[in-house]
Chain A
Amino acid sequence: MDTIAEIPKEEYILKCTSACAGCSDSLALRYVLKAAGPDTVLVVPACCTSVIQGIYPNTAFNIPVYNIAFGAAAACASGMSNAFRAAGKKTNVIVYAGDGGTLDIGIQSMSGAFERGTDFLYICYDNEAYGNTGMQRSSATPLGAKTTTTPTGKTDVKKDIDMIIAAHEPPYQATACAAYPQDLFKKVAKALTFRGPTFIHVLAPCPPGWRYSTEKSVEMGKLAVRSGMWVLYEREYGKLTIGPQSKTAMKKPVPLEEYLAPQGRFKGIDPKTVEILRQRLTRNLQKLAAEEAAP
């Protein structure tokens, strides 16, 4: 998978979704489903994806989608996966949930499903706030970011869900970004080859939430990776491999300010807060580099 031309042409997200212009949730999902193929059921808790399917009796998703209550996606998928396996079916069960449904209200059922070794793929597309309800803070919102419930900027740091997932010792977990569709495609395809719970955390830049213009979603995703704010990696049976894009960023990062400046949510951010973000970013990169280097 070295070129975009090798990605299947089949589309599982049809035209006329009700996604916002520049939405990278739907951009990411397009490649998730291309990688998963038609023998797949998507389990979706309350989130932007429950809205962008369209309004009954129409749906823009050409794949079975089971919508479920906010905190229940992983548990629902757990029942579904067990039922399919009991029936001898290999159907992929994929949870596609936002950061609220994953880091906050859904964390209990997700933790339970991972601990029980559920055979499913959990994808968290992370736009770093409650997008569906109009951008309130979530525990994925970064320090300093303005949301409708943190009007002067968030005073707490982003929860490290990936370390929480790692503590469950899944066979495979990865981070990805909607701005790198080939990388995402490969990771989804790989995750689905494992038996047991797998996790992909996808950064999904959000124009209305992050307050940048709609044509810049891919650019924002790339700046997140190039600045080191978002690190692309895989952890397979506990062994960490940092992606080449992030390796480059570690050697020669784009200044953090270049990532923050185009985003209205960071407008007027206190330089001290930027410094804390920078220190945390550096510490995270060092920590990941050390983990990768460890025998």
Chain B
Amino acid sequence: MKTLADLEEIRKRTLDNLNTRKDEHATRVVVGMATCGIAAGARKVMAAFIDEVAKRNLHHVTIAQTGCIGLCRLEPIVEVTKAGEEKVTYCKVTPEIAREIVASHLVNGVVPRQYTIGHYENG
């Protein structure tokens, strides 16, 4: 028999997964998955994002794919847009960097600048 607390627990737990169907205020994580992306290993990067989000029970996160944005030599490219904030583009992302991005940017709200395109281009 469930108590009110149990109900709340089920609600939170299931909502995280379901937000993909409804949420306009989610943090969007977009992984480049064109041929260049896939060739550079973007599949593993996406899998790392999914795994990390699931492990940490993060609320309001959607993970989507996109096509080629042109900077093929810098793939795998990941764009993270938090609601109300500017888009941050990361380049040459690896599964390890992906997990760092989740921890630093998504959870703590601190952008790990060393992995962004801006830093790569400008040193």
A and B pair up: no
* Chain A interface residues toward B at CB < 8 A: none
